[in-house]
Amino acid sequence: MNFKELASTYKTPLYIYDLDYMSAQYKELKEAFKGRKSIMAYAIKSNSNLSVIKHFAELGSGADCVSIGEVRRAFLAGIPSYKIIFSGVGKSDDEIREAIQKDILYINVESEAELGRVELIAKELNSVCRISIRVNPNIDPLTHPYISTGLHDNKFGVEIDAAKRMYIRANNSEYLDPVGIHFHIGSQLTELEPIYESAAIVADMVRSLQSIKIELKFFDVGGGLGVKYNNETTIKPYDYAQAIFSTLKGLDLTIICEPGRFLTANAGYFLTKVLYEKQNGSKRFVVVDGAMNDLLRPSLYKAYHKIEPITESKSELSQADVVGPVCESGDFFAKECMLPTLEHNDLLVVHSAGAYGFGMGSNYNTRGRSAEVALKGGKAKLIRRREEFEDLIALEKEFLE
């Protein structure tokens, strides 16, 4: 990849996405589910650029959305309504209403109270809303606490017993059609066992619903497949699918999978330019033009991202913290990273930046968000222009008087 050329054409900081890599990941995962009916519902929050969503739409993907804004993006990018799922722990009445009107595949309900709201709104609209219920199987996904979602002490989903009551209620309602069951136990999963255990619990639940004549069609296994940021061992898509298949004996269900990071993380690069080197006592800092407002994961999760320097420098490597210009001590991309001596305008490539990168960005410190560029068949194309100062003040300026 010619990062120098991309930097000179599009300036820095810059996000670059390799769409061909995303295709390869998508095809590998879809292929793994061969032998059963399946829909890959791309988790839009991992990278919500319209051109990226459109790319997945063209591959036949559906979409998993966690706000009505994401649902609207999915429609705009050409994902068919019957492949769109709306998840999330707190949907507003307006969001529920619009999702029902748009006739998406189903709303993933996350509490008894929410089931009541969905029923009421469907009744007001005189329609029937397809739903699925997010079950919390209480399995430890063995990952970082901020990205685990399948334990009772966090906010996601409902317990098995509550879910059963909800299915019975939904089945008896004129306005609700329970079609699916859902679990999503966390993100960046690198162990197969918790996924298998969760699937087994949820599959048993499907059987117990069958025994009371509630027939579901969709078995939604969520997303969460981990990727390599550093030297993690990851789950092979084939093994993942086989583990899920093994829990579904005797059940004829369409599997819905909601991959996000798996499709996008390692397709993305964040390109940033060196501004200065500085030394505070024995500590070496490399100050770059990108910052935590562009890529938050290192600050938020202490996440590791590989950093590759592009420089003529042949100097010896030494430890440095790579930091941005934002006024926060937490504004860093790497700590104690081995780097050569760098010059003004040398480039650093931050790897694995395609998921939860741009989307978690902000305008903190009145910094415009980066441009985004997509690569396909070796060709680069701008897919979001860099935010200018005028963009940042547009919604405030009229109130100055």
Ligand X SMILES: *Cc1c(COP(=O)(O)O)cnc(C)c1O
**Active-site entry in 65, 129, 327, 337:** 327
62, 194, 260, 361: residue in contact with ligand X (rule CB under 6 A): 260
Contacts of 196 (CB under 8 A, 6+ apart): 243, 244, 246, 247
46 near ligand X, judged by CB under 6 A: yes
Stretch near ligand X under the rule CB under 6 A, chosen from 19-27, 220-228, 341-349, 366-374: 220-228
Question: What is the Cα–Cα distance from 372 to 290, expressed in whole angstroms?
Answer: 13
Check whether 88 is labelled as a binding-site residue: no
* Segment contacting ligand X by CB under 6 A, of 160-168, 223-231, 363-371, 388-396: 223-231
Query: Which ranges in 223-358 belong to alpha helices (H)?
Result: 237-247, 261-264, 297-301
Of 64 and 114, which has the nearer Cβ to ligand X? 64
- Contact status, residue 218 vs residue 257, Cβ threshold 8 Å: no
Q: Of residues 157, 194, 223, 361, which one binds ligand X by CB under 6 A?
A: 223
Compute the residue count for the chain: 401
Interacting residue with ligand X among 45, 54, 73, 305 (CB under 6 A):
45
Closest alpha carbon to 187 in 150, 234, 143, 224: 224
Q: Which residues of 61-74 are buried (b: 16+ CB within 10 A; e: fewer)?
A: bbbbbbbbebbebb
| Total interface residues for ligand X by CB under 6 A | 18
Sign of torsion over alpha carbons 112, 122, 258, 48: negative
Considering the rule CB under 6 A, would residue 299 count as an interface residue with ligand X? no
258 is in an annotated binding site: yes
Q: Is 401 annotated as a binding residue?
A: no
Q: Does 261 bind ligand X (CB under 6 A)?
A: yes
Is 327 a catalytic site residue?
yes
- For 35, residues 6+ apart whose C-beta sits below 8 A from its C-beta are 245
Candidates 5-13, 24-32, 218-226, 296-304; binding stretch for ligand X (CB under 6 A) = 218-226
Give the CB-side neighbour count of residue 235, counting CA atoms within 13 A. Answer: 26
User: Which of 12, 78, 95, 38 shows the shortest CA–CA distance to 274?
Assistant: 12
- Site track for ligand X across 340-379, x = CB under 6 A: ---------------x------------------------
Exactly one of 22, 29, 43, 206 binds ligand X (CB under 6 A); that residue is 43
Positions 102 through 141 that interact with ligand X (CB under 6 A): none
User: b vs e for 309-338, b when ≥16 Cβ sit within 10 Å of the residue's Cβ?
Assistant: bbbeeeeeeeebbbbbebeeeebbbbeebe
**Residue 114, marked binder:** no
Q: Which residues bind ligand X (CB under 6 A)?
A: 43, 45-46, 64, 66, 87, 184, 187, 222-225, 258-262, 355
Annotated binding residues for substrate, written as ranges, equal 261, 297, 301, 328, 356
